Amino acid sequence: MKRVLFLAGIAGALVGCGGGLPTPPALPNFNYGAPSSTLSFDQSDTVDSAESGLSSASGMNGSTANPQAAPVLADQLGGNLPDPSLVAVFPSAEAALKSLPLPSAGAAARAFRSSGLTVGNSDCISQSGGSVRYSNCSYSGEGFNWTMNGTITVASGSLSWDIQATFEMNSEGISGKGQLRWVGQLSWTATTVQGNGRSELAVRVEGQGQRAEIGMTTGWKANLQIDATNHCISGGSLEVGRAVEGNASGGESVSAATGWKFTWNGCGSVQVAVGN
């Protein structure tokens, strides 16, 4: 997937600033260009993801709402955004650093939905009233190990979530650690869907005398109208954005952000504006 490759390359380009993890950057208020009715393949795929992902989380397609679909919305909706252009500043360690299987937020989201959490490690999941709690749920896969804690809270016509996952990895003399966090809220009626969510990644790796550190935030904000008969988005807007920040050992730095704003003018009629 695009983001997995992006993060693998980042490891050779960014550096740590001490013993802790970086703070994921805040998403900016993007300045959007003129909207266009011509969508790229990735933008069209994001529209499809919005229809399916929000439908699953809110039940706007007429089915029962699926709360576990909500935390991964940021990764699903932001997965097609263009990756920032980075320069590898550690040529001698680049190959080794790239071999380290850094987990993306999307990879952890897949693990979140896996049997390792929902079935194989079910003792770590408890439910009380309208809340589902994850307590030290562990998962090993895709080259890393991580532990998850957090809560999804469900009410009539709304839900909120705050889930954290810490992870560690080691490969070919390169070690790393990091944290993922999903946070957000979603509310809906028969004719509206509103909400926002973020996926925050903080990661640090070191080896061969080099250290790398990065913070990344991917998020979305929706204010949508729904056709209650055809169960499709018929109006309103959806913003999707990503911000990345980091610093290099030689004083190099990276700071980049990009976003898309989709506007519906009827079911299947969508325009997109690019933000920076």
What is the reported pLDDT for 21?
Answer: 87
How much is the pLDDT for 260?
98
Nearest to 207 by CA among 173, 241, 181: 173
- Count of alpha carbons within 13 Å of 65, Cβ hemisphere only? 21
pLDDT given at position 252: 61
Closest CA to 163 of 238, 243, 105: 105
pLDDT of residue 103: 47
Q: Check if the beta carbon of residue 194 is closer than 8 Å to that of residue 222.
A: yes
The angle, 0 to 180 degrees and rounded to 10, between the axes of the packed helices 105-112 and 2-10 is: 130
Find, among 212, 229, 222, the residue nearest to 9 by Cα.
212
Number of domains in the chain: 1
Mean pLDDT split into 10-residue runs, the chain, 276 residues: 35 42 92 97 95 86 75 88 52 37 48 41 73 79 74 89 85 77 93 94 75 85 94 95 78 81 97 95
Q: For the chain, count helices (H), then strands (E).
A: 6, 10
Which residues have C-beta within 8 Å of that of residue 251, sequence separation ≥ 6? none
Q: Which two tokens stand for residue 148?
A: 């998850």
Condensed to tens digits (0 to 9), the pLDDT of residues 41-82 reads 999 999 999 999 998 888 776 666 778 788 889 988 998 998
- Give me the domain span that covers residue 104: 2-275
User: What pLDDT does 62 receive?
Assistant: 66
